[in-house]
């Protein structure tokens, strides 16, 4: 699709970037008015709405593509070049959508993020930008392991209610634990950088975070879910072939 319908793919990517941004908005809005003992859990619970919207509405999310494209390569349906091309186009599309939503929210007054919740919002952004590279990489891996797990599980049922719950738990875990999602960070950084902001909020800090978190997200999705379940599926297929050859009834 990237080769034949690049504009359509970028539009799908922009939609996903905006949908994840909406998740950031409700997350920071809810978190600004919650008791400190519960803030991380509440922020995680409400952010799960973002991936739910992406899955049900249909959009091109970079973090999900880190799982899908390696599987396509392993299955012989795509080349490594195709995979990299999709990743780049999807990442750029997500950034476009995140920036567009941030610009619109600024035009609308900034909501709680730039209002009575601005101190917490900027504190979170500065912490993300100043975190060590190794921590960002590890948090990116852990985050997308859970995000892709949510997507993987949701595809195993056609029941809408079940899909929502299967998305809810992994997303709640990753946000509550403080892991790093590159697309969610795109919106947060755009929102923080567009207008007036503290000195600790910088473009260089945003670039550093997104670089290491993106790499971590790729590893988490491609290795821990894409490669992991591909190998598991291959192993099951081989076991099934051996069982059939031996004349043993399948379980």
Looking at residue 13, which CATH number applies to its domain?
A: 1.20.1080.10
Within a domain: 204: yes
pLDDT at 250: 44
Domain residues for the domain of 13 are 6-232
pLDDT at 9: 95
CB 106 within 8 A of CB 21: no
Cα(157)–Cα(94) distance, rounded to whole angstroms?
A: 27
Within 93-251, strands assigned E span: none
CB 181 within 8 A of CB 64: no
Within a domain: 246: no
Mean pLDDT estimate for the chain: 93
Q: How many domains does the chain have?
A: 1
Is residue 112 pLDDT above 50, yes or no? yes
The whole model's pTM is what? 0.93
Cα(236)–Cα(239) distance, rounded to whole angstroms?
A: 5
Residue 175 three-state SS? helix
pLDDT at 4: 79
pLDDT at 238: 53
Q: What percent of the chain has pLDDT over 70?
A: 93
The 10s digit of each residue's pLDDT in 14-51 is: 999 999 999 999 999 999 989 988 999 999 999 999 99
Within a domain: 44: yes
Within a domain: 33: yes
Within a domain: 250: no
Within a domain: 240: no
Any idea what DSSP says for residue 249? P
Any idea what DSSP says for residue 250? P
pLDDT at 240: 53
The 10s digit of each residue's pLDDT in 216-227 is: 999 999 999 999
Cα(51)–Cα(60) distance, rounded to whole angstroms?
A: 11
If you average pLDDT over residues 137-148, what whole number do you get? Answer: 98
CB 21 within 8 A of CB 97: yes
Within a domain: 238: no
For 51, 92, 166, the CA distances from 47, given in Å and listed in that order, are 8, 22, 14
pLDDT at 55: 97
Within a domain: 119: yes
């Amino acid at each position: 699709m990237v080769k034949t319908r690049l504009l359509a793919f970028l539009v799908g990517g922009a939609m996903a970037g905006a949908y994840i941004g909406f998740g950031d908005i409700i997350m920071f809005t809810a978190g600004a008015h919650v008791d400190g003992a519960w803030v991380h859990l509440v922020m995680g619970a409400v952010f799960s709405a973002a991936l739910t919207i992406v899955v049900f509405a249909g959009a091109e999310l970079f973090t999900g593509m880190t799982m899908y494209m390696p599987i396509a390569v392993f299955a012989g349906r795509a080349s490594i070049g195709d995979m990299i091309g999709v990743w780049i186009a999807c990442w750029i599309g997500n950034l476009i959508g995140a920036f567009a939503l941030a610009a619109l929210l600024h035009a609308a007054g900034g909501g709680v993020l730039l209002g009575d919740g601005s101190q917490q919002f900027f504190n979170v952004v500065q912490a993300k930008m100043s975190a060590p590279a190794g921590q960002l990489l590890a948090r990116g891996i852990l985050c997308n392991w859970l995000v892709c797990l949510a997507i993987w599980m949701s595809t195993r049922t056609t029941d809408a209610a079940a899909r929502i719950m299967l998305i809810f738990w992994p997303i709640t875990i990753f946000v509550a634990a403080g892991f790093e999602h590159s697309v969610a960070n795109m919106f947060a950084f755009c929102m923080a950088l567009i207008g007036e902001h503290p000195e600790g909020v910088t473009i260089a800090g945003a670039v550093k975070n997104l670089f290491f978190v993106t790499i971590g997200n790729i590893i988490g999705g491609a290795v821990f879910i894409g490669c992991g379940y591909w190998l598991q599926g291959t192993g099951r297929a081989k076991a099934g072939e051996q069982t059939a050859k031996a004349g043993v009834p399948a379980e």
